Amino acid sequence: MISKGNLPTGRLGPRQQAREALRAFTSNRQLRNHCGRVPHSGLRPLYSNAKAEYIKRKTFTCKSAHSCPCCTPRVLGVKRDAVMTWGNRVYGRGGTVAALVLTVPHTRYDLLSATLKRLTETNARFRRKAKKLELKYGVKSSWKVVEETWGRKGGWHPHINMFVELPRDMSAPASREFLEEFVTLWTESSGATDHAISRNAQTFRILPSKESWMVACKYVFKHAMYSPQKPTIEIDEHLKPWTILDQAIAFGGMWIALWREYEEALQGTHRVTMYGGR
């Protein structure tokens, strides 16, 4: 028999265990009250694996794209597949994909919500100008994937991973020229004239083959796929949110505060966005 409102702990995998622990300090009501809880009606003992599977599917319902160890990998898995398909099509029609990392200036003391706001505003200004540039070079579509890391030295560091389609008839020098202009436009949009940010903080590289594209795409989404880590108080740079969660569960204290800040700042934001057509 399973008790009302709980899955038996013996059956829980690491992701479910993390989600159960997270319940104690999450501010996401959906995740705390509903996700992972067995619904009251029609509750039966678990007769078979098929039944257990069914209950699992029915009960992981918060669908958070940021902070649920169970739902986030599913939600982002679907997005990753869409981005992967898009890229494969680009290579199928003879084009290539460029991968960019775009950042905004911040200090280690800036709140995540403040830096995220700056990132969103920069992106809005950037998109307005980028359209013209894309038309000039015949660039039709791109994807934006937002990623957040935290470090003791640098604080919160939200940044954008971008994939841009370079059309088939675009020469190598033209591609570089376009990307240089693209990145300059971003830096201008960030209004970073008085900050210690240079063009060099932004990076781009052209992915020459479909294989390199697939590796890059998987890599960008890797941070969103929860893989339990052995918590250690020593680690301190470029931490993924999931590492912070594991630290919070193991050590509490500042790690819980950091996780809460992450969860609250990210609520209602889009992690993956497409521009242009398929």
160 binds Zn ion (CB under 5 A): no
The reply to whether 76 sits near Zn ion by the rule CB under 5 A is: no
The DSSP secondary structure of the chain, one letter per residue, reads: ---TT---GGG--HHHHHHHHHTTT---HHHHHTTTPPPSTT-----SHHHHHHHHHHH-----SSS-TTHHHHHHHHHHHHHHHHHHHHHHTT-EEEEEEE-----TTS-HHHHHHHHHHHHHHHHHHHHHHHHHHT--EEEEEEEEEEETTTEEEEEEEEEEEEPTT--HHHHHHHHHHHHHHHHHHTT-TTTT--GGGSEEEEE-SHHHHHHHHHHHHHTTS-------SS--SSB-HHHHHHHHHHH-THHHHHHHHHHHHHTT--SEEEEE--
Q: Which region, judged by CB under 5 A, interacts with Zn ion, from 58-66, 146-154, 192-200, 233-241?
A: 58-66
Stretch that binds Zn ion, among 35-43, 84-92, 101-109, 195-203 (CB under 5 A): 35-43
The residue range among 28-36, 202-210, 224-232, 265-273 that interacts with Zn ion, by the rule CB under 5 A, is: 28-36
35 interacts with Zn ion by CB under 5 A = yes
Selected from 7, 62, 119, 164, the binder of Zn ion by CB under 5 A is 62
Q: Which is nearer to Zn ion, 28 or 115 (CB)?
A: 28
Q: Which of 142, 136, 144, 133 is nearest to 165 (CA)?
A: 142
Q: Which of 68, 139, 170, 239 binds Zn ion (CB under 5 A)?
A: 68
The CB-of-58 to Zn ion minimum distance in angstroms stands at 12
Is the Cβ of residue 32 or residue 176 nearer to Zn ion in the bound state?
32
Instruction: Pick the closer one to Zn ion by CB: 71 or 244.
Output: 71
CB of 231 to Zn ion, least distance (A): 21
Q: Closer CB to Zn ion, residue 70 or residue 207?
A: 70
Residue with tokens 């070079």: 137
Which of 7, 38, 55, 71 is close enough to bind Zn ion by CB under 5 A? 71
Position 248 contacts Zn ion (CB under 5 A): no
Query: Is residue 75 a contact residue for Zn ion (CB under 5 A)?
Result: no
Nearer to Zn ion, 68 or 98 (CB): 68
Q: Does 249 bind Zn ion (CB under 5 A)?
A: no
Q: How many residues bind Zn ion (CB under 5 A)?
A: 5
Distance CA 104, CA 87 (A): 26
Interface residue list for Zn ion (CB under 5 A): 35, 62, 68, 70-71
